[in-house]
Structure 1
Amino acid sequence: MLTKCLQRFGGVMGQKKRFGLTVKRINDLMPPAAVGGQDFYWSADQAGLAVRVTAGKKAFIWQGRYLGKVVRITIGDWPGKSIGDAEKVARTFQAELDQGRDPRQLKKDNEAAAAAAVEQARLEIVTLADGWADYLADRRSHWGDAHYQDHVNLAKAGGEKRKRGAGETVAGPLHSLMGLPLSALSGEALERWAAQEGATRPTRARLAMRCLKAFLRWAADEPKYRAVVAGDQAITKRAKDRLGRAEAKQGCLLKEQLPAWFAAVRGIDNIVISAYLQTLLLIGSRPGELLALKWSDIDWKWHSLTIRDKDASKGGRDGTRTIPMTPYVERLLSDLPRRNQWVFSSPASTTGRISEANHALDRACAVAGVSVTPHDLRRSFVSLSEWLELPSGVIAQIGGHKPSATQERHYKVRPLDLLRLHHERFETWMLEQARLPVPMSDGHRLRAVQ
């Protein structure tokens, strides 16, 4: 009976039927008879507060007059919004109106503040792992494979079975930070991390810190993260000091060591690895760049190699550089089996190519009585060129180093033939020091060295 009376009075234009709001009364309210209509049931206890009933929905609203015009604001749906909460909001709106202010602006301000609080709470639980995944996805197209894999390995959890040898892999140096919220990456936290990592693997930790610094700069420019990341200020001087300074690498083949080294490497049973290591020394590329060489990157007609630079932005127009294929290197490559697309292929590898040659190089070095790493061969290429006083810009262009002077960057453009002139002379000199036959430029004739 009460419901029928309320519906009848509530739907009459210009009349307000007031009653005390209770849970039972609100639940008993029926939708309006008119299709698309709405009925209002006004609170007898709080001015301006009403329950608006439409087809399938009930909501609290507040209504008043501001500057002579009716202002109606939705407070919230029933039963999500309780009667007590609705009355509290209605009192707030009425107080704003009594002060001569527009309650609608208060609602907008409250909603904006609530949204900001929710977003801040979300950001405060966003971890470094979340941001790191987005960072890698965003930068993937700008990096080479090796650089990308470095970032993946730095954050790895470890615990996987080693591909070579016994035991399991260890966690990457950044893994211990991955669970931290970005907002918790403070100077103190990174100093503690640096002290721990610096005591066991400082070289790897220094790489991790450089990568982390680049990430923090990226995050500071990203709308999604800039609210909780202030750039790389968390990487303090104390954190850097705890990792120590990297010492300059000195590993390099000397001129007098070339005969023993070439003899040992040429004696490696695996022809692919033997050719790879010799080529690495003779063209001065980065180890990973040469491993990625495909048969389609070789131009046999014009005797050139197209190398994919480790950083596409530093190479040619498409992230590559083209260098001469010298006679001895051409003979090495032409003798390799063509199993697949990779020049330095491996039938036992899941990728179809060799992944590294460190162990074979170590064994060869032990035979030769020297000690160098694959990257030391690149350093040897640059260092040995000093014996012939070759132009530094030529060596840098062949090896893929950035030009070191304005003149080199903007004014000197060396064609392939000019590079070939110097490169073949350099190869001939190295082979002569190694007491090896020197192929002529046509790739067929050999001349003996006394």
Structure 2
Amino acid sequence: MSTSLASSQRLTITFLNNLKSNPSNAKSTDYEVNLSAMKDSGLPTGVRCLVGKSGGKRFLLRYTSPVTGKKASIGLGKHPETDIPTLRKLSKEYRQQILEGIDPKLERDNQAVDKAMTLERFFNEVYLPLAKQKRSWKDEVARFRLAKSIHHIPINELTAAHIIKVQMEMQNGLSKKSKPYAVATINRVIALLKTINKQAYKLMDAPFIANKVSLLKEDNVRTGYLSEQQLKEFIAYALDYPDKQTGAFLALLFLTGARDKELRFRLWSDINWQEQSINIPHTKNGSSHVLYLSDYMMEILHSIPRIRTNPYIFAGRKHGKPISPARHALRTIKEKMGLPDMPGDKANITLHSARHTVGSLLASQGVPLHDIAKQLNHADLSSSRRYAKLTVGRRREIGSRLSDMVSLGIPAGQ
């Protein structure tokens, strides 16, 4: 609620004292009085008095941040603790900072947290709101919990020794499942801490120590992959799986090399039937990606029972939701194929093995690395300029290579 006053009204202590409380049945917590518009107020534009339901009065300066371009506000104190001369002085100082391109709230907050903000507070209040723009932000929350022993360290006092401490604790410790942490898991936690430090360095001029900590050496083969014959057998079992949505999902996952969530959350509206493609609007890399499908893959799509009330291609049992991660179905198929289920073993077949399977089999067919990278939507290859110029025809040819390799004699809609 906002209250406008005639320009003839003067700003005085008596006026502020006489402001009535916000009605208890009002929708908003406070109502605002535009103090800047009052006669001879001596205040810059944007100064407001907010009056609460209990009668409390506080002063704000509303402005557009010259840093973010968004609407912002900064507190100027409370009545009667902050008198009118102090209100004028403080609001004018802040308005001058704004004219000079400085956001006074960001400036004040940074100065206030330099000494007091812990690593945990920085993560929750500064890093996480930015990280939530990524689809993987929940993973980062889980990883940050594993660094609990240094959460209390002030962000400006974080050292390489603190990060190495977490690294050593994880190397010598056990997970909740009472198993040693995988090297890849440790590295993800350490990489997150390094990224947090880089962010603190940029935003708060904290000491930059991220480059002093090295990640542990990893075996590049994180999961196993299927041979050409195994893939053919896998597709046959997948298409014969009782739940047709889940079976079709696994078949297309291992034929395209797509990421699990990026394929599982696709809508029927993402399919371009004429172009024989599926559009993925948002990928792990932050960009869109198009999966070009072979005739065989299109047959699989056509064989999927369509649920009118569910927009997802791979419709789950819950109303309006996609299928859950197909781990149970994967274990069932592995059992039929005689493949052991060995969690944590680098030779184990997982959902991520779809990407390794596609990459390794395309490579065995002589497909160049940059073409494989485009199929798998990798973003960090130095040859990105080269593979970014691939024609649609070339992309479609690469996408069809695996299905041509394994589809002979396998009906798409078993």
Range into which the TM-score falls when normalised by the shorter chain: 0.5 to 0.7
Measured at CA, do residues 283 and 297 of structure 1 come closer, stay the same or move farther in structure 2, by a change above 3 Å? same
Q: Deviations over 1:311-349 (max 9, x none)?
A: 454xxxxx2122312222222223232342222221337
Q: By how many angstroms is 1:235 displaced?
A: 5.1
Q: Does the alignment pair 1:415 with 2:391?
A: yes
Match of 1:399 among 376, 385, 388: 376
Q: Displacement of 1:220 after TM fit?
A: 0.6
Contact 1:294–1:343 (CA<8 Å) still a contact in 2? yes
User: Which letter maps to 1:381?
Assistant: V
> Displacement of 1:120 after TM fit?
6.2
Q: TM-score, normalising length from structure 1?
A: 0.57
The secondary structure found in structure 2 opposite 1:265 is helix
Aligned to 2:218: 246
- Corresponding residue to 1:325 among 290, 293, 303: 293
Note if contact 2:254-2:358 (Cα within 8 Å) is conserved in structure 1: yes
Whichever residue aligns with residue 220 of structure 2, its letter is A
Inter-CA distance 219–183: structure 2 relative to 1 (3 Å threshold)? closer
- Answer yes or no: is the 8 Å Cα contact 2:159–2:209 preserved in 1: no
**What runs of 5+ residues in structure 2 fail to find an aligned partner?**
1-80, 82-106, 175-180, 340-347
Q: Return the offset for 1:438.
A: 7.6
Q: What is the aligned partner in structure 1 of residue 92 from structure 2?
A: none
Compute the displacement of 1:153 (Å). Answer: 2.1
Superposed CA offset, 1:326-380 (max 9, x none)? 222222223232342222221337x712341123212211221224111111110
Match of 1:136 among 128, 137, 142: 128
Q: How does 1:58-97 map to 2 (within 5 A)?
A: none
Contact 2:281 2:289 in 1 (8 A): yes
* Residue 221 (1) aligns with residue 202 (2): yes
The secondary structure found in structure 2 opposite 1:398 is: helix
Between the two proteins, what is the percent identity of the paired residues?
20
Letter in 2 for 1:152: V
Identify the match of residue 337 of structure 2 among 368, 379, 387: 368
Looking at structure 2, the residues matched to 117 and 391 of structure 1 have their Cα atoms a distance apart, in angstroms, of 54
SS at match of 2:407: helix
- Tell me what 1:44 maps to: none
Q: Write the deviation string for residues 141-173 of structure 1: whole angstroms up to 9, x where unpaired.
A: 3x2x1x222112223xxxxxxxxxxxxxxxx31
How many angstroms does 1:412 deviate by?
5.8
User: Does structure 1 conserve the Cα–Cα contact (< 8 Å) formed by 2:232 and 2:406?
Assistant: no
Q: How has the CA–CA distance of structure 1 residues 119 and 149 changed in structure 2, closer, same or farther, with 3 Å as cutoff?
A: closer
What value does the CA root-mean-square deviation take over the aligned residues? 3.1
Q: Do the aligned partners of 1:264 and 1:365 also contact (CA within 8 Å) in 2?
A: no
Shift of residue 389 of structure 1?
A: 2.0
1:289 matched to 2:281: no
Could you tell me how far apart the structure 1 residues matched to 2:293 and 2:232 are?
Answer: 22
Task: Give the secondary-structure state (helix, strand or coil) at the position aligned to 2:367.
Answer: coil
Q: Does 1:345 align with 2:315?
A: yes
Encode CA deviations 1:101-136: one digit per residue, 9 max, x unaligned. Answer: xxxxxxxxxxxxxxx999767422212222112212
- The answer on whether the counterparts of 1:289 and 1:307 sit within 8 Å (CA) in structure 2 is yes
Cα deviation for residue 210 of structure 1 reads 0.7
- Matched position secondary structure for 2:129: helix
Measured after TM superposition, the shift of residue 255 of structure 1 is 1.7
Whether 1:430 aligns to 2:403 is: no
Contact 1:326 1:423 in 2 (8 A): yes
Q: What residue in structure 2 maps to residue 230 of structure 1?
A: 207
| Ranges in structure 1 where 5+ consecutive residues have no aligned partner | 1-79, 81-115, 156-171, 314-318, 440-445
1:220 alignment partner AA: Y
Distance 2:387 2:238 in 1: 40
2 CA distance for matches of 1:355 and 1:398?
Answer: 25
When Rg is computed on C-alpha atoms for both structures, the one with the higher figure is 1
Q: 1:347 to 1:180 in 2, by over 3 A?
A: farther
Structure 1 residues 40-68: Cα deviation after superposition (integer angstroms, max 9, x where no partner): xxxxxxxxxxxxxxxxxxxxxxxxxxxxx
- TM-score norm. by structure 2 comes to 0.62
Is 1:382 the counterpart of 2:382? The answer is no
In the comparison of the two structures, how many residue pairs are matched?
Answer: 289
